[in-house]
Amino acid sequence: MFAMPRIKWLTLAVAPFLLALSSAKVSAQDSLYSIAEPASFFSAGAQYLFTTRDTNFVSPGAFIAGPDSANVGFGAADFGYKSGVQAFLGYHSDGVRVEAIFSDYGAWNFLNTGTLTTGLAFDEGIGGPWAGANQIDLTTGFESLHASASAGMGGDADEFEGLGPVGGFADDLRTYSVLYRSIMQSYEVNVVTEDPEARVQIGLGYRHISLDEIGSVGIEGSLRALTVAAPNGGISHNSLITFGGLTHVAGTANGFEDETSNASTLPDTLQMFHDARTSNSLNGAQVVLSEQLMYWKGWTIDGIAKAGAYHNQVKASVSETYIGTDPGPGGDSSTYGRTFTDTKSQLAFDGSVGLQSNFPLSDHWSLISGYELTYIYGVSLSPEQYAGVTGPTFVTRTFNADTHGEIIAHGGNAGLQFSY
């Protein structure tokens, strides 16, 4: 029997250790190609917004009747695209992104001014000297002035009142203005997943949206009072208070006067304003979904969807203001008006869809751009508030704010992002 060489015994003895070491090296080498945990970093940026929103109203109200009725109202309102800004800050760590976003969509503004093609009748004069002209009545705005002037409503029965030109008074044609302004801002805080192996990222967040609006219609002209019985020279203080439900606000408490009552022998220049204002404060929770739709050499395009439910605290008001001024030297001025207010709590909903592109310019800077469409339901829009003033008489009327408005806003964005 022969003895085994010493070297073979040594080889057999250390073989298990060599195999274990070899396996450890292979395992370590494989780990170099496993997906590494993402490093923590911050991102921040700003974008220029250019957005528009719809102006389709359920009940925008009619402010005058007659040949110019289509111009004196909100039916033709068109905002166009307005400039805004968005700023954001994010923290990315361990597959999660925490982000804060502030968006100011700018001031959507519509202003329409012009001249009425005829005079404006306040009462039954539409069937007489103002035949074929514009008019105010119970179906239009400025109802309080109609009640004050109309004999059928208990108002002045001795004269037909309105704005010239009429009869032998060749006054300049009356001017009108329609203003609609809407301002929307929002800020939100979201926590969103950033799993590189997941196709869809999901998140939850808090969002606040503010929407403040004013809608205003104004008409200005020369007051004319054509005698039917005993003349009283205009619309009396008593008629404005007793039958119109108005309050004397400022100036001389002598109503509105024509050329026969003013010391200047000129008729009052009468300014008529019908305004509605709304303030919406939405606070609630939202769900965020995003999906990477394209990746090419670092350039990404993501699809993003958000949906939320909100508590909307609404404040709304509707007011009428009438200012009669004697245009002569030292002439007096009289102001009458009334204001209704209401507050409500309303459940509101918000949803948005969009695309967002991120194109790297360097290790830290990226060019970002995109498009977003937003739908909001359960808000109070100023043009829809006028119909909320109701009641059996003008003195006992109340206001019930409308909170079932909806808006669709959409537009693009472009800006820069910095990551570190």
Dist. CA 89–CA 45, nearest whole Å: 7
Q: Provide the percentage of residues in the chain whose pLDDT is more than 90.
A: 76
Residue 202 belongs to what domain range? 45-419
| pLDDT tens-digit series, residues 133-173 | 999 998 899 999 999 999 777 777 778 999 999 988 888 88
What pLDDT, on a 0 to 100 scale, did the predictor assign at position 58? Answer: 80
Instruction: Name the pTM for this structure.
Output: 0.86
Instruction: Please check whether residue 30 lies inside any domain of the structure.
Output: no
Strand partners, 143: none
Count of domains forming the chain: 1
Dihedral sign from CA coordinates of 110, 113, 117, 119: positive
Q: Which of 23-37, 60-74, 231-245 comes out lowest in average pLDDT? A: 23-37
Tell whether the model's pLDDT for residue 22 goes beyond 80.
no
pLDDT for 355: 98
Other C-beta atoms closer than 10 Å to the C-beta of 13 total 9
Give 72: exposed, middle or buried? Use CB within 10 Å, 0-12, 13-18, 19+.
Answer: buried
Instruction: Let me know if residue 294 belongs to a domain.
Output: yes
Does 366 reside within a domain? yes
Q: Which residue has the tokens 């693009």?
A: 412
Whether 32 is in a domain gets the answer no
H/E/C letters for each residue in the chain?
CCCCCHHHHHHHHHHHHHHHHHHHHHHHHHHCCCCCCCCCEEEEEEEEEEEEECCCCCCCCCCCECCCCCCCCCCCCCCCCEEEEEEEEEEEECCEEEEEEEEEEEEEEEEEEEECCCCEECCHHHHCCCCCCEECCCCCCCHHHHHHHCHHHCCCCCEEEEECCECCECCCCCEEEEEEEEEEEEEEEEEEECCCCCCEEEEEEEEEEEEEEEEEEEEEEEEEEEECCCCCCEECHHHHHHCCCCEEEEECCCCEECCCCCCCCCCCEEEEEEEEEEEEEEEEEEEEEEEEEEEECCEEEEEEEEEEEEEEEEEEEEEEEEEEECCCCCCCEEEEEEEEEEEEEEEEEEEEEEEEEEEECCCCEEEEEEEEEEEEEEECCHHHCHHHEECCCCCCCEECCCCCEEEEEEEEEEEEEEEC
CB of 405 closer than 8 Å to CB of 388: no
pLDDT digits (tens, 9 = 90+) for 247-294: 999 999 999 999 988 989 999 999 999 999 999 999 999 999 999 999
Residue 23 lies in a domain: no
Does the residue 154 lie in any domain?
A: yes
- The yes-or-no verdict on residue 21 having pLDDT over 60 is no
Q: What's the mean pLDDT in 330-352?
A: 96
pLDDT in tens, 365-396: 999 999 999 999 999 999 999 999 998 777 88
| Residue 151 confidence (pLDDT) | 78
Q: Is residue 33 part of a domain?
A: no
- What's residue 32's pLDDT? 31
| Residues in Cβ contact with 316 at an 8 Å cutoff, skipping those fewer than 6 apart | 276, 277, 278, 279, 341, 342, 343, 344, 380, 382, 385, 388, 399, 401, 402
Contacts of 233 (CB under 8 A, 6+ apart): 225, 257, 258, 260, 261
Residue 5 inside a domain? The answer is no
pLDDT value, residue 7 = 37
